[in-house]
């Protein structure tokens, strides 16, 4: 029984930490790096018949060229609403409406803007590391409490703590790797 609880606690910790890494990946994908990427529009919401709707539910987004996104609404009458939603998101892109299609030109980033984005990546990276460490701290407290109450032996608790630390180290290294890749991408002209 006690060993199962320990495994469940470790599995729960891993699941929560993995969600943190996945969130970080999504946040990085939405950061503009001077190249067109459909994830740039992930956070755009459009007022569609009076209700805020994610752009992904209303249109197909494609990347025909490295600095161009093409947004093609499924409902042709929504072109003006989609344009307003993109403008409201303030992504720093220029929008050109061509019939029932919107072309978004992604401007080249200035050096100053690149440095700002790198600072954002570092801040976001540190926030995610803190989130992972908080999960580790919570599970460590649970393990120590279980050890005090006798539902887990001292040896099992030590093994669990070692496994938890290895998991934490592995996922923080993954965050660092993702952050470094994004920084390099942002600093490329």
Q: Could you report the per-residue pLDDT of 109-157, keeping only the tens digit for each?
A: 788 888 888 999 999 999 999 999 999 999 999 998 888 888 888 898 8
Nearest residue to 140 via CA among 128, 18, 148: 148
55, two tokens: 């752009």
How far apart, in whole angstroms, are the C-alpha atoms of residue 159 and residue 162?
Answer: 5
Q: How many CB atoms lie within 10 A of CB 53?
A: 18
- The CATH code belonging to domain 2-30+110-187 is 1.10.132.20
pLDDT tens, position by position, 13-48: 999 999 999 999 988 877 766 677 788 888 889 998
DSSP output for 51-97: EEEEHHHHEEEEEEETTEEEEEESSGGGHHHHHHHHHHTT-S-EEEE
Region(s) of the chain under CATH 1.10.132.20: 2-30+110-187
What is the phi/psi pair of residue 98, to 5°? -125, 85
- Could you tell me where in the chain the CATH 3.30.1360.40 domains are found? 38-105
pTM for the whole structure = 0.70
Class of domain 38-105: alpha beta
């Amino acid at each position: 029984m006690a060993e199962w609880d320990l495994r469940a606690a470790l599995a729960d910790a891993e699941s929560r930490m993995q969600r943190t890494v996945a969130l970080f990946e999504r946040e990085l994908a939405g950061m503009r790096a001077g190249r067109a990427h459909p994830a740039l529009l992930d956070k755009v919401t459009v007022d569609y018949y009076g209700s805020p709707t994610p752009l992904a539910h209303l249109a197909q987004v494609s990347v025909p060229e490295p600095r161009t996104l093409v947004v093609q609404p499924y409902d042709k009458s929504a072109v003006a609403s989609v344009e307003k939603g993109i403008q409201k998101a303030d992504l720093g892109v220029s929008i050109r409406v061509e019939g029932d299609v919107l072309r978004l030109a992604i401007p080249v980033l200035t050096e100053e803007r690149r440095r700002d984005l790198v600072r954002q990546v570092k801040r976001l990276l540190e926030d995610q590391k803190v989130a992972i460490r908080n999960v580790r701290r919570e599970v460590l407290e649970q393990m120590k409490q279980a050890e005090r109450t006798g539902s887990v032996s001292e040896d099992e608790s030590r093994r669990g703590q070692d496994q938890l630390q290895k998991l934490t180290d592995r996922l923080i290294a993954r965050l660092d790797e993702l952050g470094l890749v994004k920084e390099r991408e942002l600093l490329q002209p």
